[in-house]
Amino acid sequence: MDLVLIEALKVDTVIGVYDWERTLTQTLVLDLELATDIRPAAADDDLGKTLNYAAISERINAFGAEHRFELVETFAERLAETLRQEFGIAWLRLTLRKPGAVPAARAVGVRIERGERGSS
């Protein structure tokens, strides 16, 4: 199975468990690997036959503006569900980093994989 990639996408959102975090916007950094078969799009040179990484990136930014979760786990899980439903993504790997959350670390976060990854 082939992959469409989105790397180091910055997403502004209200996120965090502490009171001070409920009053401001923070920036998450997302990496996504999205399984698809790129051959139909490549054969016809047709964007309509693949996953449009620009449209998906816009949707992720809108998702960040729409929601105010406490946990990065919740953001990742709900975003994965939304993208799989809306874009028909069979399998994805999502890495979500919250830079600055732990000052001694470059970033902290979660990585999830959802769906069935095809074999061809």
Ligand X SMILES: Nc1nc2c(c(=O)[nH]1)N=C([C@H](O)[C@@H](O)CO)CN2
Site membership for ligand X, residue 65 (CB under 6 A):
no
CB of 1 to ligand X, least distance (A): 29
The region of 30-38, 54-62, 70-78, 87-95 touching ligand X under the rule CB under 6 A is: 70-78
Say how far residue 117 (Cα) sits from the centre of its chain.
Answer: 17
Q: Give DSSP secondary structure letters for 41-73.
A: HHHHT-GGGS--HHHHHHHHHHHHHH---S-HH
98, 104, 114, 119: which one is catalytic?
Answer: 98
φ, ψ dihedrals at 15, nearest 5°: -155, 140
Estimate the crossing angle of helix 53-66 against helix 72-87, to 10 degrees.
Answer: 140
Cα 109-110-113 angle, rounded to 5 deg: 155
Least separation in angstroms between CB 99 and ligand X: 10
Q: Does 16 participate in binding ligand X (rule CB under 6 A)?
A: yes
- Using CB under 6 A as the binding rule, whether residue 97 contacts ligand X is answered as no
Among 12, 71, 105, 113, binds ligand X (CB under 6 A): 71
Which of 1, 7, 17, 58 is close enough to bind ligand X by CB under 6 A? 17
Residues of this chain that interact with ligand X (CB under 6 A) are 16-18, 21, 71-73, 98, 101
Mind telling me the catalytic residues? 98
